[in-house]
Amino acid sequence: MWHAPKHWRALVRADEIWLIALSAFIGALAGICVVIITRSTLWAHRWLFALDNDGRLSGLGHLTPLRALLVPVLGGLAMGLFSLVVAPWLKRRPVDPIEANALYGGRMSVPDSLIVAAQTVISNGGGASIGLEAGFSQLAAALGSWFGQFFRVRREDLRVLVGAGAGAAIGAAFDAPVAGSFYAFELVIGAYSLVSLSPVAVAALCGVGVTRFFGGVSPAVVIPAGDVLTVSSGVEVALIALVTSLAAIGIMQGVTLTESAFSRLPLPRWLRPAVGGAMVGGMAIVTPSVLSAGHAAMRIVFDGDLTLRWAIVLLLLKAAASCISIGSGFRGGLFFASLYLGVLAGNIAGAVLGWAGLQDLSPAACAMIGMSAMAVAIIGSPMTMVCLALEMTGDLTLSGGVLLSSVLSLLTVRRLFGYSFATWRFHLRGESIRSAVDIGWMRTLNVRRMMRTSVRTLGADTTIARARVLFPLGAAQRVVLTGADGRYKGLVSVVELHAPEHDGDAPLSALAIHSCDVLLPQMNVREAAAAFERAEADALVVVDDRDSYRVTGILTEQHTLRRYAEELDRTRRELAGERRRRT
């Protein structure tokens, strides 16, 4: 890509004020992304479903059966055909903001992210039971990455710009700048620091400001005044959080099972979303609240217009519709959908406790507790939900209950499941990512970069007496043995070589150790450290591959651990902002 002139890059890299200004611009772009994507889907809803409101599907009492069934099918067909057409342009699977910051130093592709945003609009516009956050947060983060690469900012600053874009998009979508900022810290950057506070917060404020300028995108959910948290109500909060987090684990597992079931269908991949759309459309005939993310349906729950039986039906249908939508191939996220699922779960749990005579909180408070617990369990961001609840309600009376439910939900999911929805998806793909903390350096810090290439070798059939002459005590620590064909045959310690009990006429191969324990150049530092531990060796030979077994270098455990500690310290200083130069 074309880069900014050198003096521009130097200015942005050296002065934090310019980095904040760049973050503000990215935040404004994020707000524009949110407005365009949200209004595009609302327009699609109005046109495709023949609505006379502002395009909010989930709050409708009913839809004509033909449209409820046909539109999701056509949306799934459009999604499948679009993915089929753009497949040749996708060189690899699009990298999302968390993965980009964890593995690639914040590098993302704008064209790939535009495709993801378009897929999200098609999916949600056709009524799929998923949210829009995967589209606008992906695109906003990619724009942050692009501008960071344009100015060639440092790796740590590039990661902050990616987080600023994603956080600004979430803040703009909810009209909640504080929640958007914590979304960036907890999910996309992976840590909170004073250095990253300014650019992330300014980006979130600018994103919210832009959406307000264009009239906003999300109607406010009116939540009655919260209840004061007491000891008895604290027990109720704990029970609701526990039940809701268990339901969240079931939903995350359900997505995986649904994907597996759709992958076994004897259909081409591009037809699977249409099948999923037919299933979601069938549920929409029962209730349109399963369509889209569920913003408007949340208001009905908070108004207290649901019976316990109907709330259970809605929860089961919405959970099934979300799992089917994602499992069949629609593109979107579960953040927005998890809010509605949590509201339903909290409402049901509160009603059951009331039936048992244990309810102290109002139904609206129970719904808020459930919403926080469900979202934290699926998204994995407790402070984001605490701030979002406060910004949505403007009421501090229930803040303790929201905090308690968020913490308990996070602990329950970590203890019983170990992943949020995003990191669980990474795990299924074979990626060892638990957060957005930068671990990409572990892959680039490999054995090839750490090993010493100047290695003296001897033939394995050389006599011990001859080797003692060539390697006197103090000349080296170890000798590398090779066979007549050049293959690695083992290591011999020079101290052991000069031990008097060994026969000088015996071959060196009699003293060889670690002949089967080797390192490969592409192994990362963590894999190398594990190999040293398994072999119980203080040094191992590096071979080019396991077929040829030819020696290319040698690496010691001491040097490996020192480099590992140096990189960890560098990462710690970057998170704390100690490496940033100031003018």
pLDDT in tens, 382-441: 889 888 888 877 777 777 888 899 999 999 998 888 777 777 776 666 565 655 555 555
Distances (CA, A) of 194 to 19, 187, 465, 576: 14, 17, 64, 7
* Residue 227 backbone phi and psi in degrees, to 5: -95, 150
Q: Is the pLDDT of residue 209 over 90?
A: yes
Report the alpha-carbon distance of residue 497 to residue 478 in Å, rounded.
Answer: 9
Return the pLDDT at 582: 44
Return the pLDDT at 440: 54
Task: Tell me what percent of the residues of the chain surpass a pLDDT of 70.
Answer: 88
Q: What is the mean pLDDT of residues 365-381?
A: 89
Q: What is the mean pLDDT of residues 277-283?
A: 94
The pairs formed by 255-262 with CB atoms below 8 angstroms and a separation of 24 or more are: 255/322, 255/323, 255/326, 255/327, 255/334, 255/421, 256/327, 256/424, 256/428, 257/323, 257/327, 258/323, 258/324, 258/326, 258/327, 258/328, 259/326, 259/327, 260/327, 261/327, 262/327, 262/328, 262/329
Strands 539-543 and 518-519: parallel
DSSP string, 184-202: IIIIIISS--HHHHHHHHH
Report the alpha-carbon distance of residue 558 to residue 517 in Å, rounded.
Answer: 17
Return the pLDDT at 483: 87
Distances (CA, A) of 3 to 19, 29, 100, 158: 16, 20, 20, 14
**Amino acid letter, 388:** L
Q: Rounded to two decimals, what is the model's pTM?
A: 0.79
Report the alpha-carbon distance of residue 105 to residue 154 in Å, rounded.
Answer: 9
Return the pLDDT at 200: 94
Q: What is the mean pLDDT of residues 207-214?
A: 92
Helix axes 295-302, 335-355, angle to 10 degrees: 20
Report the alpha-carbon distance of residue 109 to residue 261 in Å, rounded.
Answer: 31
Per-residue pLDDT tens over the stretch 187-204: 888 778 777 888 999 999
Helix axes 363-379, 295-302, angle to 10 degrees: 150
How much is the mean pLDDT over the chain?
Answer: 84
DSSP category for residue 289:
G
Per-residue pLDDT tens over the stretch 128-164: 999 888 899 999 999 999 999 988 888 888 889 999 9
Per-residue pLDDT tens over the stretch 522-570: 888 878 888 888 888 889 999 988 888 899 999 988 888 888 777 766 6
Q: Is the pLDDT of residue 583 over 60?
A: no
Report the alpha-carbon distance of residue 217 to residue 219 in Å, rounded.
Answer: 7
Report the alpha-carbon distance of residue 380 to residue 425 in Å, rounded.
Answer: 13
Name the most confidently modeled range: 75-84, 452-461, 557-566. Answer: 75-84
The answer to whether 451 and 524 have CB atoms below 8 angstroms apart is: no
Q: Band of the pLDDT at 272, cuts 50, 70, 90?
A: very high
Task: Tell me what percent of the residues of the chain surpass a pLDDT of 90.
Answer: 34
Give all strands of the β-sheet with 539-543 in edge-to-edge order. 518-519, 539-543, 551-556
DSSP category for residue 438:
-
Per-residue pLDDT tens over the stretch 427-448: 666 565 655 555 555 666 788 8
Between 446 and 251, the more confident residue is: 251
CB atoms within 10 A of CB 471: 19
Structure-token pair, residue 468: 């003692």
Return the pLDDT at 36: 93
Q: What is the mean pLDDT of residues 58-78?
A: 89
Report the alpha-carbon distance of residue 113 to residue 141 in Å, rounded.
Answer: 9
CB atoms within 10 A of CB 109: 18
Return the pLDDT at 164: 95
Q: Is the pLDDT of residue 210 over 80?
A: yes
Return the pLDDT at 581: 45
Report the alpha-carbon distance of residue 194 to residue 559 in Å, rounded.
Answer: 33
Return the pLDDT at 574: 60
Contacts with 116 (C-beta within 8 Å, 6 or more apart), sequence order:
94, 134, 135, 138, 139, 331
Return the pLDDT at 220: 52
Return the pLDDT at 318: 94
Distances (CA, A) of 246 to 232, 334, 377: 22, 16, 9
**Nearest partner of 196 among 19, 27, 28, 387, judged by Cα:** 19
Contacts with 243 (C-beta within 8 Å, 6 or more apart), sequence order:
345, 349
The answer to whether 171 and 210 have CB atoms below 8 angstroms apart is: no
